Structure 1
Amino acid sequence: MTPTLAALRASTLAFSPLPDRPDPSWLVLEAATAPAIDLALPAHRDAAHAWLNAWGCRIRKPRPGEPGVFDAAIADWWDGWSAELPAPDDWLVDLADDRLDALAACFTALAASPAAPTRTLGPTAASKLLFALRPKALMPWDNLIAQGLHGARDGRAYRAHLATGRGWARAVLAEAAAEAAEAVAEPALVAGLGRTGWSLAKVLDEYCYLVHTRGWVPPAG
């Protein structure tokens, strides 16, 4: 189901009826990682761990005397893969196909990274962490979104998810421009949807969550 501008207006209200309502966990993450998140820093990795758990990932903190499996693995991943991420100010609509290929590899490596002695980070937490790193460009997912849209949760499916979101974002921006009879910048569009400071990557994720995870149906027309 391709979201129209009308569908996104409805989905943002359904997701959060109060316009521009802040996400407390996101505010905590931003404050802990200002001016920019850098997973080379232990404090930033700890903040990312806490934020992932606030977003439902349930990655256990190590007990006293246990190794910091998540911390070490994420530091290693960042060292090897952070150069492949888009720039912090890149938008989803701007991602080129070769960048999507690189991001699929980034995602695959991150999802396979150890998160605890008996588990890997996995595809849902990996997508959420990538969103936290680049919230203007990278859409997260959960299991129901991934399976509902792509029938899988691997690197190829993640690439398809970004490509799908990119197409949706471009279409919505074109629809908004036609409605306004002039170009509409993404920050202005999402502000008009009650998501000031966010991105279409976030707005489209909310739409996907409602449709695929909660079974929400956009109003007709």
Structure 2
Amino acid sequence: MNGHHVNLGKLALVCWTYRGIGDRAYEQLLQRTGGNPDPGDAGHRQLIIDFLRKWYCFHRIEKDSDENISTQMYNWHQQHNGALPNVNTNLWELAPLQMNAIGDVFNDLSGQVAGARGGRNVSFGPVAAAKTLFAIRPNALVPWDTRIRQHYVHANGTYREFLGMMRDIALNLAKQCQNHGFEIAELPQQLGTPNKTVCKLIDEYNWRTITKKFTPPDRQTLERFIAWYE
């Protein structure tokens, strides 16, 4: 898979298979925060933390670290909120300078101390930081896990590099959507998942094809299967 191109048809198929898996944690976060998780709100911070734990973050530290995580998240947000894109800004609309600022914001959050284990401090780390950014800016920022990160930018790659690649993917998808008569902003609706964002769909594609190593069938195989519907 080229890091800058995702076939629209394959993304649609992969995201369709993801629907069978479900994503209750993500749905609950949206429902309980009115679709706009705000780290400035104490209740929302706890919901974000709950979401992150369900998305396999902070498993190395105990539940009683939540208060510290919340405090660190609040302080980070107070300092960097102005550098984050507007909640309505889309991934494909990000400018290079914005992505540079987001990269700095990401690095700061990644280094924040979330808790301790065995007498040693444990930081948020790159996975929890990326998933936090997605949680609070789901229209603009794509999460990653360790395998997705290594696939696109290798172990030492930056979130800024990754975000640039995701933006390229979105811009390419936008052209494919236009070729089929609709805009990329309409893609979630076209796929029957209007409550999701394009960033969420791209993450689902990455997770299914990279983390879980699912390979969607090629067009010839699909056409053969479709013929069996008759």
- Verify same fold: TM over 0.5: yes
Deviation at 1:197, TM superposition (A): 2.0
Of 191, 195, 198, which residue of structure 2 is paired with 1:197?
195
Q: 1:28 to 1:197 in 2, by over 3 A?
A: closer
Instruction: Give, in whole Å, the separation in 2 of the partners of 1:198 and 1:153.
Output: 30
Which residue number corresponds to residue 60 of structure 1? 62
Instruction: Give, in whole Å, the separation in 1 of the partners of 2:98 and 2:123.
Output: 25
Which residue number corresponds to residue 82 of structure 1? 81
Instruction: Give, in whole Å, the separation in 1 of the partners of 2:215 and 2:194.
Output: 24
Residue 25 of structure 2 is aligned to residue 38 of structure 1: no
Which residue number corresponds to residue 211 of structure 2? 213
The SS at the match of 2:135 is helix
Instruction: Give, in whole Å, the separation in 1 of the partners of 2:211 and 2:35.
Output: 33
- What TM-score results when the alignment is normalised by the length of structure 1? 0.87
The SS at the match of 1:119 is strand
What CA RMSD, in Å, does the superposition of the two structures yield over aligned residues?
1.9
The one-letter code sitting in structure 2 at the alignment partner of 1:120 is S
Which residue number corresponds to residue 13 of structure 2? 10
The SS at the match of 2:102 is helix
The one-letter code sitting in structure 2 at the alignment partner of 1:8 is L
Q: 1:80 to 1:188 in 2, by over 3 A?
A: same
Instruction: Give, in whole Å, the separation in 2 of the partners of 1:60 and 1:187.
Output: 39
Instruction: Give, in whole Å, the separation in 1 of the partners of 2:133 and 2:156.
Output: 15
Contact 1:10 1:219 in 2 (8 A): no
Deviation at 1:153, TM superposition (A): 5.1
Q: 1:31 to 1:151 in 2, by over 3 A?
A: same
Instruction: Give, in whole Å, the separation in 2 of the partners of 1:60 and 1:144.
Output: 24
The SS at the match of 2:139 is coil
Contact 2:178 2:184 in 1 (8 A): no
Deviation at 1:56, TM superposition (A): 1.5
The one-letter code sitting in structure 2 at the alignment partner of 1:40 is G
- Which sections of structure 2, spanning at least 5 residues, go unmatched? 220-230
The one-letter code sitting in structure 1 at the alignment partner of 2:67 is G
Deviates more, 1:87-96 or 1:28-37: 28-37
- Which sections of structure 1, spanning at least 5 residues, go unmatched? none
Contact 1:187 1:198 in 2 (8 A): no
The one-letter code sitting in structure 2 at the alignment partner of 1:85 is L
The one-letter code sitting in structure 1 at the alignment partner of 2:72 is A
Contact 1:143 1:153 in 2 (8 A): no
Instruction: Give, in whole Å, the separation in 2 of the partners of 1:6 and 1:28.
Output: 28
Residues 113-163 of structure 1: CA distance to partner in whole angstroms, max 9, x if unpaired? 111123111111110010000001100000000011111355xx2111111
Residue 106 of structure 2 is aligned to residue 107 of structure 1: yes
Which residue number corresponds to residue 169 of structure 2? 168
Which residue number corresponds to residue 50 of structure 2? 50
Deviates more, 1:87-96 or 1:169-178: 169-178
Instruction: Give, in whole Å, the separation in 1 of the partners of 2:11 and 2:34.
Output: 30
Contact 2:29 2:35 in 1 (8 A): no
Contact 1:40 1:75 in 2 (8 A): yes
Residues 21-57 of structure 1: CA distance to partner in whole angstroms, max 9, x if unpaired? 6x33233323433363221222111111111111111
How many positions carry a matched residue from both structures?
210
Q: 1:17 to 1:45 in 2, by over 3 A?
A: closer
Of 180, 183, 186, which residue of structure 1 is paired with 2:184?
186
Instruction: Give, in whole Å, the separation in 2 of the partners of 1:113 and 1:130.
Output: 14
Q: 1:126-145 residue pairs with structure 2 within 5 A?
A: 126-145=129-148
The one-letter code sitting in structure 2 at the alignment partner of 1:33 is T
Of 109, 121, 129, which residue of structure 1 is paired with 2:124?
121
